[in-house]
Structure 1
Amino acid sequence: MSKNTTAILDTFSLEQPTKEDGQGMWALAKKSSLDLNSAYKYIMMSEYFSETCVVAKERGEVVGFVTGFIQPEHPDVIFVWQVGVDSSQRGKGIASKMLNEIISRDVCKNVRYLEATITKDNEASQSLFKRLAREHNTSCEVDDCFPAEVFPEEGTKAEYTYRVGPLSK
């Protein structure tokens, strides 16, 4: 097992993604309720931002992923772009495990905050980030971020920033 893999069970692991994992991440996003980005985005995130992304695999197949990056203007913030968990794996705490995996990595040693944008109707993601704050005995602040009017598509919902932290190391 490589240093970039955390085994949870013999058949389950959390890993830094490789560009080959991008295809599985895209396929998972495509069959879920997530906003689907291009396949290129998942491959690119796996190649160039692998240290701040994670894939959950069961028997070698992608069953979950988190894509994120450390903001150049704010090196103490990791921004989580997307969290996806296969419907067969929901309720097992995989999303929380993946987020904790990322923030425990050396690349996040200076990270004090984790941020994501979430719509008002995405209760699962809201619960995930509030639970992460409780686990780390810190706060989860919610602020306006992207009002619906900034999006070009009719009917797009406003996004709110969920900021978890400060995280202690």
Structure 2
Amino acid sequence: MGWISAYRPPTRPGELFVWQVAVSEKARGQGLGGRMLDALLGRPATHGVTALTTTVTPDNDASLAMFRSFARRREAPLERTPRFDQQIHFAGAHATEWQIRIGPFHTQPAGDARPAKPEISLS
């Protein structure tokens, strides 16, 4: 129903760069993307990660909402700055990509003592 591609930059091991979050059309709007992020940060490979970064275009409301919700659950600040400019980097052919940085945060969401279950109900 969904997947995430992400990596820990070698020069910033406390950070997770999220390249893409994909959710099937059938599963959208049910919080699966956020639950996958929570589950990813519950894995041993992400031990020690205290910040998340990504890039998002300003018209991607679903991604922006997911990352804002993630920041709220982690009680972490969210900063947004231009990263790849529409004119400078894309010759006007693509909207500016904004970098989102969330952190520092705790490994588990606030008030949750266990990783989120990546279950979904399709009704």
Question: Post-superposition, which runs of at least 4 consecutive aligned residues in structure 1 deviate over 3 A?
Answer: none
Q: Report the number of matched residues.
A: 106
**Structure (1/2) with the larger strand percentage:** 1
Distance 2:30 2:64 in 1: 17
TM-score (norm 2): 0.81
The AA in structure 2 aligned to 1:122 is N
Q: CA deviation at 1:151?
A: 2.3
**Aligned with 2:15 (options 53, 57, 77):** 77
TM-score (norm 1): 0.60
Taking CA–CA contacts closer than 8 Å with sequence separation of 6 or more, which of the two structures ends up with the larger relative contact order?
2
CA RMSD of aligned residues (A): 1.1
**Aligned with 1:151 (options 90, 103, 121):** 90
Q: Deviations over 1:78-113 (max 9, x none)?
A: 000001111111122110110001111111111110
Unpaired stretches in structure 1, ≥5 consecutive residues: 1-62
Unpaired stretches in structure 2, ≥5 consecutive residues: 108-123
**Aligned with 1:115 (options 53, 71, 74):** 53
Aligned to 2:102: 164
Which is greater in Rg? 1
Of 143-152 and 98-107, deviating more is 143-152
